[in-house]
Amino acid sequence: MRLIKVSDEEELSRMAAEYVFSKIKRSERIVLGLATGRTPLGMYRHLSKYSKEYKLLFSHVHTVNLDEYVGSRAYHAYMQENFFDHIGIPSNQTHLPDGEALELERECKRYEEVIKQLGGIDLQVLGIGENGHIGFNEPGTDFSSRTHVVELTESTLSANAKYFTHEKQPLKAITMGIGTILESKEILLLAAGVKKANAVKELFRGSLNENIPATVLNHHPSVTVIADVGARSLLEEES
């Protein structure tokens, strides 16, 4: 696992955007796995700006998001507003799980099929939860899990409550499974702020721990972590 050290969230956003943009520029076709949350917001802002500056439409880019809340389109709206509206990507090339689907189990299978039909994910961008979750794979999730419905933990509900001022906060979500995420060819994980410090410390301990889902990344051959000073604070105390 490679660690890129940055000082703050602004540098993290720039580094992450440069990393992703260089892959997009170099490829004739690319499947990006995307994350939501606060952490990748700056990356999306920079990528949108680069797209305009370089006059590069993202017409050769396909995207698959990690997750969506059940009964909600909150992450659809987030992606549209913060990224898709700015980059000239055809709408049929962007994919998220449908949290409003009537048959959720069938929707999970459909989503797996979408990823398979695209030929798998070339680069998956991940954030990390305070409890070490990736996507919405909460502590205890089987490392071989595929796209599934999850009940969110107290920790995740309280960390994300701030995003639900106009809508009742959903208690469940559909998420790519850990097994699904691990099949990505390459992974870029972004971590910012002291609230992520414990999860980042556990991640770099190197051992696998189902109670801290991100530790599964120690099993993946190509992972890059970009972490700011806050997220690295406990890591550096140890070394």
Helical spans, DSSP H, in 27-153: 41-53, 74-82, 104-117
The tokens describing 62, both together, are 């396909």
99 sits near ligand GLP (criterion: CB under 6 A): no
Span interacting with ligand GLP, options 19-27, 29-37, 88-96, 176-184, rule CB under 6 A? 29-37
Span interacting with ligand GLP, options 8-16, 36-44, 78-86, 107-115, rule CB under 6 A? 36-44
SS3 188: strand
Region for 120 from its dihedrals, namely left if φ exceeds 0, alpha if ψ lies in -120 to 50, beta otherwise:
left
Cα(191)–Cα(67) distance, integer angstroms: 18
CB of 163 to ligand GLP, least distance (A): 8
Per-residue contact string for residues 124-163; x = within reach of ligand GLP by CB under 6 A: ---xxx-----xx-------------------x---x---
13 sits near ligand GLP (criterion: CB under 6 A): no
35 sits near ligand GLP (criterion: CB under 6 A): yes
Which of 138, 160, 202, 228 does the annotation list as catalytic? 138
Q: In what order do the strands lie in the sheet with 123-126?
A: 2-5, 223-227, 186-191, 123-126, 30-34, 61-65, 94-95
* 131 flagged as catalytic: yes
Which of 133, 137, 148, 202 does the annotation list as catalytic? 133
Per-residue contact string for residues 47-86; x = within reach of ligand GLP by CB under 6 A: -------------------xx-------------------
SS3 32: strand
Residue 216 CA, chain-centre distance (Å), reads 15
Q: Which residues are catalytic?
A: 67, 131, 133, 138
